[in-house]
A and B are shown apart, each in its own frame.
Chain A
Amino acid sequence: MDIFFQQLINGLTIGSLYALVALGYTMVYGVMKLINFAHGDLVAFSAYVGLTIFSQFFGANANSIFTVITIFLFTALIVAFVGVVLERLAYKPLRTAPRLSAVVSALGASLVIQNSIMLIWGPNMKIFPSNLIPNTTWQIGGVILTFTQVIILALSAVLMVALYFFINKTKIGTAIRATAIDQDAAKLMGINVNRIIMIIFIVGSALGAVGGLFIGIYYRGLTFDMGWLYGLNAFIAAIIGGIGSIPGAMLGGLLLGLFNAMISGYISTEWADTFTFILLIIILIVRPTGILGEKIAEKV
């Protein structure tokens, strides 16, 4: 049983990371009907930004809560800004163009970001210091829980709840939902669609930045092409949950993480990715809109 709970925790941890990244995909898709393939690379970029802020401004050993908060805040700010610039340069000019053009532009943007990371930080693996968050671990029965995992689970949960309220209970949130349903109608109602899209990119990129930083802190080894790995998984998570749906992305991320951990733990690590795709195919056949896909459309 211990093993089961351990896999549960492993799965939820990686699942929350997928969920944070998946939110970026799903929000952009919801409003713009565009798969932002550059999102995964933005996540990788944020891990590098966080590492740079840490090593440039905080030296080697400063694991105070202040340091951690500062790093997260500044990384989120920088990445949100880059996200907005990305939208302005790569997607805005193509907003009325056929959807394929925007997708190609997204793939191009992904390559640009990936190669920029390589040019700025070099092609070699960069390593996140292990002392940013204390190495405390707890043992409950035979299950090991680390401080990092607790922070990841807790902060992701807080962010997701906050996002849920932001989307559902605020005026901007209502405007975002309205824009998601019909951009033209939203415009006629006096909603500034440009501003909404900008907010989407700010929020999505900032969440991705938190995810990227967690990936850096949790796994430590950063490679310039790591964005693809997390981007793909988060993208699958978003589709499983129902792309365009915010609760769907959260659910999809957690489910994918759990599914992957259980398959790896009980069936075979070698086949885990294959099973992920089998799950994706089954979902697409049985419920093409994803688990929570339709709900959001009905809601408004």
Chain B
Amino acid sequence: MIKLSKLASAVALSAIVASSSLLADTVKIGVQAPITGKYANEGQGIDQFVKLIVNEKNKQGGLLGKKIEVITCDDEAKAQKAAVCAKKLVNAGVFAVIGSYTSGATEAAQTTYYRNKVLQTSDGTSDSLIKRKFWTFFRNSFPNSAQSDFTADYFVNIKKYKKIVVLSDYSSYSEGLGDATEESIKKIGGNVIFRGKIKSGTQNFTAMLTKIKSMNPDVIYYSGYYTDGGLLRAQQKQLGIDADFVGGDSNDNPDFLKLAGSAAEGTVLINFPTPDILPYKEAKKYLKAYEDTYNMKPPSIWAVVNADGLRAIIHGVEKTKSFDTKKISDYLHTLKDFPGITGPVTFREDGERIGAKFIVYEIQKDGSYKVIE
């Protein structure tokens, strides 16, 4: 008899467990970002911004009555780790993932999310991210090709540079942006005199820069990340190369200024508007909330566009009144002018956010940015 009652209670217990999991009152959202490693400050920014928005949502009663739980996975901006993160987050039962920061890590995780019907939104700008046309994937930033066209136009038509050097590192984002920029410049008749690649993290770029010096360029364009960009700029100045230095979007980080030191002055960056000059109503509200919560500004625009990705997904869930990712995705593909922190969010059929708007800044002596174009 005892056995039977035990069995009965076991059955009852499992029934409770099963039903409670069916009626779970939480819904899970994943964050896949480089929480540690070279780009840690970007990854932590993304994580913090997501948690800020989720907390706010939970205070308002959650999403369709369910509390949102955030599960963060650190991909260290490495492809292998990203693949592990994707499996981990899928197994944890997330319905959407925010991230990652780098195109490489995003791409490595993309297929896993697609197969498991998990929505993913990233700031990765590599053109290849959209090529596979996964219905689960949404890009919240603008593709390299948009940036490269803008950069080429700025170099050739506005600054009238005659000798252009294009440098990148070997990451899929940087190489892609470098190639796209070279192509765009050539397309409109500009003159790229040197296209070089550096190995990220090697620190010593003097050999290549000395070679570049002999070519007497008007401008050195670097399409990689701030960790190498700041050093490149410092070593360029140290070698007495007078050329302008223009950095692509990923050089836009406070650490660039620290690495370049006094050489930072006069550096030009091409990116979206920085968080603090975003003119939108949502921007003022959320950036203030971010500063109040974490006592710091978001590390860069990238944390903010990722936050917009989350807000778009939340909006999609609320509009479709379901957690069916296919339905949300269909809705998001037709989303038009959703008021985002980084401006109106409109997604194209293939998950691309449209309406690219770039700005050119110059770094001032005191480290502040001055918009010049």
| B220 to A: closest C-beta gap in Å | 14
Contacts of A183 in B (CB 8 A): none
CA distance A118 to B240 in the complex (A): 35
Is the C-beta of B198 less than 8 angstroms from some C-beta in chain A? yes
**Contact, CB under 8 Å: B238 / A272:** no
**Contact, CB under 8 Å: B41 / A124:** yes
Option from B199, B206, B214, B261 in Cβ contact (under 8 Å) with A10: B206
Selected A-B contacts with CB under 8 Å, 20 pairs: A6-B210, A13-B206, A14-B204, A123-B36, A125-B38, A125-B40, A127-B259, A130-B261, A135-B262, A137-B238, A144-B238, A144-B239, A219-B203, A226-B203, A229-B201, A261-B206, A265-B208, A269-B208, A269-B211, A272-B207
Q: Which residues of A contact B (CB under 8 A)?
A: 2-3, 6-7, 10-11, 13-14, 118, 122-125, 127, 129-131, 135, 137, 139, 144, 146, 215, 219-221, 223, 226, 229, 260-266, 269-270, 272-273
Q: A118-B36, A221-B227, A262-B207 are in contact. List 16 more A-B contacts (CB 8 A).
A: A3-B213, A3-B214, A6-B213, A11-B207, A13-B206, A123-B36, A124-B36, A124-B40, A124-B41, A125-B38, A223-B201, A261-B207, A264-B207, A265-B211, A269-B207, A273-B199
**Contact, CB under 8 Å: A123 / B40:** yes
Question: 1/0 contact trace for B206-234 toward A, CB 8 Å?
Answer: 11101101100000000000010011001
Inter-chain contact count A-B, CB under 8 Å? 93
CA distance A4 to B37 in the complex (A): 36
Q: Which residues of B contact A (CB under 8 A)?
A: 36-38, 40-41, 196-199, 201-204, 206-208, 210-211, 213-214, 227, 230-231, 234, 238-240, 255, 258-259, 261-262
Among B40, B207, B211, B262, residue most surrounded by chain A Cβ atoms (within 10 Å): B207
CA distance A264 to B199 in the complex (A): 12
The 6 lowest CB-CB distance pairs between A and B, nearest first, are A130-B261, A264-B207, A123-B36, A10-B206, A219-B203, A127-B258
**Contact, CB under 8 Å: A219 / B204:** yes
**Contact, CB under 8 Å: B259 / A220:** yes
Majority DSSP secondary structure for residues of A touching B = helix
**Contact, CB under 8 Å: B234 / A223:** no
| A268 to B: closest C-beta gap in Å | 9
CA distance A11 to B208 in the complex (A): 12
CA distance A28 to B41 in the complex (A): 38
CA distance A21 to B234 in the complex (A): 24
